[in-house]
């Protein structure tokens, strides 16, 4: 498989993979996610994943995430199913009660264990991933 070129983008994205030299991936979701948010994100995610050896730990930061449009929800579900084997553990950091609920639902979609952490527990989440 030929390596992907790093995607170029401009402007703000509501769903991003934060570049890191660490083995773990950090994804940040904010605002309302629509299908278009996943178009750029998919390319960036694939690029960042190929820099590591899957399965990798994932830190999913939902602080500031408000929800999906119907098309965004379908895009998210399809992404989850495509990447169900990509992660060794998934730590979810959230700031709303429903973020813990979607973590529980997400546990059925991924093979990796998922664990929810509150708004001020990022360090605990990182430690759990390692």
Structure tokens at 101: 């609920």
CA distance linking residue 67 with residue 84, whole number of Å: 21
Q: Whole-angstrom Cα distance, residue 49 to residue 44?
A: 9
> By C-alpha distance, which of 69, 62, 66 is closest to 106?
62
Could you report the per-residue pLDDT of 84-120, keeping only the tens digit for each? 999 999 999 999 999 999 999 988 999 999 999 999 9
Give residue for tokens 């429903």: 98
The upper half-sphere exposure of residue 99, i.e. CA atoms within 13 Å in the direction of its Cβ, equals 20
The top-level CATH class assigned to 35-129 is: alpha beta
What is this structure's pTM? 0.87
Adjacent-strand bridge partners of 31:
65
- Return the pLDDT at 12: 63
Tell me what pLDDT residue 28 has.
Answer: 96
> What residue ranges of the chain have pLDDT lower than 50?
1-11
């Amino acid at each position: 498989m030929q390596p992907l070129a790093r995607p170029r983008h401009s402007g703000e994205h509501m769903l991003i993979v934060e570049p890191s030299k660490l083995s773990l991936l950090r994804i940040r979701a904010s605002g309302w996610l629509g299908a278009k948010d996943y178009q750029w994100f998919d390319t960036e995610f694939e690029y960042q994943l190929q820099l590591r050896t899957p399965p990798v730990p994932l830190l999913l930061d939902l602080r500031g995430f408000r929800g999906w449009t119907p098309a965004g929800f379908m895009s998210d579900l399809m992404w989850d199913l495509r990447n169900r084997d990509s992660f060794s553990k998934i730590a979810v950091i959230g700031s709303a009660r429903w973020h813990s609920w979607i973590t529980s639902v997400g546990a059925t979609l991924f093979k990796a264990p998922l664990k929810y952490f509150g708004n001020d527990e990022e360090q605990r989440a990182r430690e759990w991933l390692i």
